Structure 1
Amino acid sequence: MASEQTTLTVPGPHGEREMRISSPSRVMWPELGLTKLDLAKYMVDVGEAFIAANGDRPVALQRYSDTIDGEQFFSKNPPRGTPEFVRSVKVVFPSARSHPMLVLDEPAAAVWAVQMNTVVFHPWPSRAGNTDNPEQLRIDLDPQPGTDFD
């Protein structure tokens, strides 16, 4: 049996790209009933602003195996099957180890990340061409389980 899928047309700097979304009816936010397709369509709608804020930066992807309440993991290395239009940059960590990290330069790249169940994007505060020198201060607020912002 073929798996459920759909295609979204994503505008970008190099024209439109047709992006496949598998399991579009997978409910990612059970409380709200929001699906993977809902998130992908949202990314198409905000894609230009998303790339303006996060493009040209190494990014780690926080991916979920099922719903946002389920297992999650971080994806830093470009996974097998990364589209040719999604680039990567070699980064060196303080420990001196290095590896490639994804760089999202167009809305279709962000939609591709959503296709892989990415819900949270963690961009670096530095540009891909100068990863050792941050040019922004980004504050990441992560309340621990059982706490909130109230």
Structure 2
Amino acid sequence: MAKTAAAHVQAGDREVRVSSPDRVIYEATERTPEVTKLMVAEYVAAVDDGLMRALRDRPTALERWTSGVRPGLKLATGPGDRGADAFYQKRVPKGAPDYLETVGITFPSGRTADEICPTEIAVPVWCAHMGTLTFHPWPVRRDDVDHPDELRIDLDPQPGTSFSDAVRVAGVADELLRELGLVGFVKTSGNRGVHIYVRIAPRWEFAEVRHAAIGFGRELERRDDQVTTAWWKEQRGERIFVDYNQNCRDRTIASAYSLRPIAGAPVSTPMTWSELAGVTDPGEYHLFSVPDRLADGDPWAGIDETHHSLEPLLELWEAQVAEGHGELNFPPDHPKMPGEPPRVQPSRRVAEHWDDEGNRVEQRFE
């Protein structure tokens, strides 16, 4: 069979070459026809304004599904997943065009890397040519990569709960933010969850932003019994988990207008608060329907107009600490932190094996 000739996609002022344009990335569903690699690149170009509002000048990791999305295909999430079909790209891929810019970032381990830093729509279109479906930007800008300008509230439905439960909790979260003088911008995750972003002044380090997220999550938990901040899954129950650790260094969330690797090519879609309240099926927002929405205006068009103070949320955190509610667990790829609880499931924890700082005590046998 003859090899399909490359196609070209207009991306701003550039034409971007797309190889294997007829490769099927998403198979057809009852709701959507099949999606080819060329169609993915064209989608990225079509959501230019919204996507670049989410990515511009941010270090961005790529979630690459070079063989497309099929049942049973696996995404590599760690060094042990060598046979996986898809992977995260945190360093600039080989063969990058000369217009692609980078920014240096530091991982929690202390290692450094140059990561893609989109400055024009041709960059994510080229990334689509490389098999990228989902963009994972850091919550920082290239001129200050150590001070986030976004607080990210990830509402993650646990087994036994639904997208509709996350939507209801998001409404409670919106009320709390407004009480604190903060404005949140909401989007679907593209799957079952809901994401809320708050632009903040880039004055605080990652650890402080994370504490602000914990403070917010605990207050939300106090107000709504369907909310949890429990890190260990065995403790969460049928509730909506506020994943505070999404605000750690090198932890990222699918950007606004990113495709997700799920049948039907769903999109992480920005919404107004009133619109979200009426949504029951996030799968209705997909590669074919979202560009028309954006043509009518982006619900997040004003997200950069105001950068809020974190002080109201840090005051919540400090009050909680004073009440005896201290540090929570960090992700496993982060160094052990002072005051962090033991990194072992509560059901497997033996109290005498751990000191007050959460460090394992070596056992001595006589």
TM over 0.5: same fold? yes
Shift of 1:140: 5.0
Shift of 1:18: 1.1
Match of 2:15 in 1: 18
Letter matched to residue 20 of structure 2: S
Q: Is 2:104 the counterpart of 1:90?
A: yes
Letter matched to residue 128 of structure 1: R
Q: Give CA deviations for 1:5-58 in whole Å, capped at 9, x if unaligned.
A: 1111211xxxx1111011111111113411111111111111122112211000
Letter matched to residue 52 of structure 2: I
Change (3 A) 1:75 1:92: same
Q: Which runs of 5+ in 2 are unaligned?
A: 74-84, 165-366
* More helix by percentage: 2
Match of 2:173 in 1: none
Letter matched to residue 23 of structure 1: S
Task: State the identity %.
Answer: 38
Matches within 5 A, 1:28-107: 28-30=25-27, 31=29, 32=32, 33-69=34-70, 70=73, 71-107=85-121
Tell me the TM-score normalised to structure 2 length: 0.37
Change (3 A) 1:98 1:142: farther
In structure 2, what is the Cα distance between the partners aligned to 1:85 and 1:79? 14
Q: Which runs of 5+ in 1 are unaligned?
A: none
Secondary structure at the aligned position of 2:54 is classed as helix
In structure 2, what is the Cα distance between the partners aligned to 1:97 and 1:24? 36
Secondary structure at the aligned position of 1:128 is classed as coil
Number of residue pairs the alignment of both structures matches: 145
Letter matched to residue 50 of structure 2: A
Secondary structure at the aligned position of 2:105 is classed as strand
Please tell me whether the aligned partners of residues 4 and 21 of structure 2 are also in contact (alpha carbons under 8 angstroms): no
In structure 1, what is the Cα distance between the partners aligned to 2:62 and 2:150? 19
Q: Is 2:122 the counterpart of 1:108?
A: yes
Q: Give CA deviations for 1:51-98 in whole Å, capped at 9, x if unaligned.
A: 122110000000013112332100011011111111111111232111
Change (3 A) 1:140 1:61: farther
In structure 2, what is the Cα distance between the partners aligned to 1:23 and 1:142? 36
Please tell me whether the aligned partners of residues 47 and 110 of structure 1 are also in contact (alpha carbons under 8 angstroms): no
> Structure 1 stretch 107-116 or stretch 18-27: which is displaced more?
18-27
In structure 1, what is the Cα distance between the partners aligned to 2:153 and 2:38? 29
In structure 2, what is the Cα distance between the partners aligned to 1:108 and 1:28? 20
Higher relative contact order (CA 8 A, sep 6+): 1
> Structure 1 stretch 33-42 or stretch 103-112: which is displaced more?
33-42
Shift of 1:2: 4.5
In structure 2, what is the Cα distance between the partners aligned to 1:74 and 1:101? 12
Tell me the TM-score normalised to structure 1 length: 0.86
In structure 1, what is the Cα distance between the partners aligned to 2:64 and 2:157? 18
In structure 2, what is the Cα distance between the partners aligned to 1:39 and 1:139? 28
Matches within 5 A, 1:131-146: 131-139=145-153
Change (3 A) 1:50 1:5: same
In structure 2, what is the Cα distance between the partners aligned to 1:143 and 1:126? 26
Aligned match for 1:129, one of 137, 143, 146: 143
Secondary structure at the aligned position of 2:97 is classed as coil
